[in-house]
């Protein structure tokens, strides 16, 4: 095996392939899991704070978490009532 | 003080019940008054592994629903004086396991002076599994050196960190322990299997122990005797070490390094 692998190049062990795959998927799933759990609470809190200053409809405040490349983007969209 | 230990994994068939039976027996052998509860409603098996299947009269759900009291449902273990088994029911109604009901039973065990309560979780992340971890003080996450098991363990860790009472009430978090089971030092050495250090790196929780793959586990379950009683087998010794570490002792890891068989062994065979 040794001289053959020297000539043809060492093949990666399946265990290291497994580890690399797990590293990627676990990291991905951890970020997903931490997102949606707190978003509804954040939305509620924002509604509470903003309605102190503006009469807003709770549905007009939208909160979302998006992944763009290596960055996570927290998007907050607030529609203020017309005619003020 | 009662400590509630949940044995969980996400994935099925990795050794949760084997581990629950052995950890509970090991703690009892060290003199702690211990109860082990099967949370797998509808698919009970802890009774078989503990060898008390013919003595089941009442079960966990009977106690929750008030059809029997705890004293009637607890089965005294054959091998250890201070070990008791609370079997799961075979009804298909999983919702019978209410949060209030589970809490009531755990409180009552606490009043009866139990030192440890082991909650043997069902596989999956559904109601039964969540109930098994809700009241945990400590969690033993049983993981095989295999991709689906590692991923599911990570998922269940996330659930412990969000749905346990300790997490919800903002108390000190559940203490997590990694127990690698069905480990083959030879295959890990040859790069065919994730090593225990790989798994620990991936899951990032402290290692409680490594239980080697062994024929002794099947031999034990065949007879309804927890594997920890299989004297002088690596599995029993590895479980004993894990219990020692759980109790704060230091034990070097055993049965994790591959030893090349010597010439004589190779010539004459042997296990």
Tally of CB atoms within 10 A around B156: 26
Given an 8 Å threshold on Cβ–Cβ distance, is A26 in contact with B194? no
Segment 162-191 of chain B within 8 Å of chain A by CB: 162, 188, 190-191
* Alpha-carbon gap, residue B33 to B224, rounded angstroms: 21
pLDDT of B160 reads: 97
Question: Could you report the predicted ipTM of this complex, rounded to two decimals?
Answer: 0.87
Segment 23-62 of chain A within 8 Å of chain B by CB: 23, 25-26, 29-30, 33, 37
Contacts of A33 in chain B (CB under 8 A): 155, 158, 162
pLDDT tens-digit series, residues B17-46: 999 999 999 999 999 999 999 999 999 999
pLDDT tens-digit series, residues B49-71: 999 999 999 999 999 999 999 99
pLDDT tens-digit series, residues B197-214: 999 999 999 999 999 999
In chain A, the residue whose alpha carbon lies closest to the alpha carbon of B193 is A15
Tally of CB atoms within 10 A around B165: 16
Given an 8 Å threshold on Cβ–Cβ distance, is B198 in contact with A19? yes
Q: Which residue has the tokens 């052995």?
A: B22
Q: How confident is the model at residue A5 (pLDDT cuts 50, 70, 90)?
A: low
Instruction: Calculate the alpha carbon distances from B176 to B8, B91, B100, B211 in Å.
Output: 10, 31, 24, 17
H or E stretch including A77? strand A71-78
Instruction: Calculate the alpha carbon distances from B28 to B18, B51, B212, B219, B230 in Å.
Output: 15, 16, 23, 22, 16
Q: Which of B85, B91, B5 is nearest to B42 (CA)?
A: B91
Give the residue with greater pLDDT, B1 vs A3: B1
CB B180 within 8 A of CB B144: yes
Cβ contacts of residue B27 below 8 Å, gap of 6+? B34, B115, B116, B118, B243
Question: A13 to chain B nearest CA, in Å?
Answer: 5
CB B135 within 8 A of CB B106: yes
pLDDT of A37 reads: 66
Q: How confident is the model at residue B128 (pLDDT cuts 50, 70, 90)?
A: very high
Please determine, for residue B271, whether its predicted confidence score (pLDDT) is greater than 80. no
pLDDT tens-digit series, residues A29-53: 887 666 566 778 888 888 889 888 8
Q: Which residue has the tokens 């098996």?
A: B45
Please determine, for residue B95, whether its predicted confidence score (pLDDT) is greater than 90. no
Sign of CA dihedral B249, B247, B230, B258: negative
Contacts of B158 in chain A (CB under 8 A): 29-30, 33
Range of lowest pLDDT (B19-23, B94-98, B169-173, B222-226): B94-98
* Alpha-carbon gap, residue B210 to B260, rounded angstroms: 20
Instruction: Calculate the alpha carbon distances from B166 to B9, B17, B139, B159 in Å.
Output: 19, 24, 12, 12
Is pTM beyond 0.90? Reply is no
Q: How far is C-alpha A5 from the geometric centre of its chain's CA atoms? A: 41
* Alpha-carbon gap, residue B174 to B46, rounded angstroms: 24
Q: Taking residues B135-148, what's their average pLDDT?
A: 98
Q: How confident is the model at residue A9 (pLDDT cuts 50, 70, 90)?
A: low
């Amino acid at each position: 095996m040794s001289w053959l692998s020297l000539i043809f190049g060492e093949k990666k062990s399946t265990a290291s392939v497994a580890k690399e795959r797990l590293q990627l998927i676990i990291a991905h799933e951890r970020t997903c899991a931490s997102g949606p759990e707190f978003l509804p609470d954040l939305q509620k809190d924002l509604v509470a704070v903003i309605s102190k200053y503006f009469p807003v409809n709770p549905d007009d405040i939208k909160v979302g978490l998006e992944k763009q490349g290596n960055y996570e983007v927290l998007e907050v969209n607030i529609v203020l009532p017309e005619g003020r | 003080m009662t400590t509630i230990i949940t044995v969980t994994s996400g994935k099925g068939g990795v050794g949760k019940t084997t581990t629950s039976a052995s950890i509970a027996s090991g703690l009892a052998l060290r003199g702690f008054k211990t109860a082990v509860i099967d949370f797998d409603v509808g698919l009970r098996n802890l009774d078989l592994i503990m060898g008390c299947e013919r003595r089941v009269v009442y079960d966990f759900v009977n106690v929750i629903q008030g059809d029997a009291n705890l004293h009637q449902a607890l089965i005294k273990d054959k091998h250890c004086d201070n070990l008791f088994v609370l079997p799961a029911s075979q009804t298909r109604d999983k919702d019978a396991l209410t949060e209030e009901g589970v809490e009531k039973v755990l409180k009552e065990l606490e009043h009866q002076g139990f030192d440890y309560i082991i909650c043997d979780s069902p596989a999956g992340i559904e109601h039964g599994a969540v109930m098994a971890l809700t009241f945990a003080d400590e969690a033993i996450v049983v993981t095989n050196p295999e991709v689906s098991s590692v991923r599911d363990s990570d998922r269940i860790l996330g659930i412990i960190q969000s749905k346990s009472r300790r997490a919800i009430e903002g108390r000190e978090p559940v203490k997590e322990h990694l127990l690698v089971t069905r480990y083959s030092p030879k295959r890990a050495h040859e790069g065919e299997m994730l090593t225990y250090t790989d798994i620990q790196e991936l899951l990032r929780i402290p290692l409680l122990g490594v239980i080697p793959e062994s024929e002794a586990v099947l031999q034990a379950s065949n007879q309804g005797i927890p594997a920890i009683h299989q004297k002088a087998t690596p599995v029993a010794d590895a479980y004993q070490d894990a219990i020692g570490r759980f109790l704060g002792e230091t034990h070097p890891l055993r049965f994790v390094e591959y030893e090349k068989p010597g010439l004589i062994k190779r010539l004459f065979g042997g296990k």
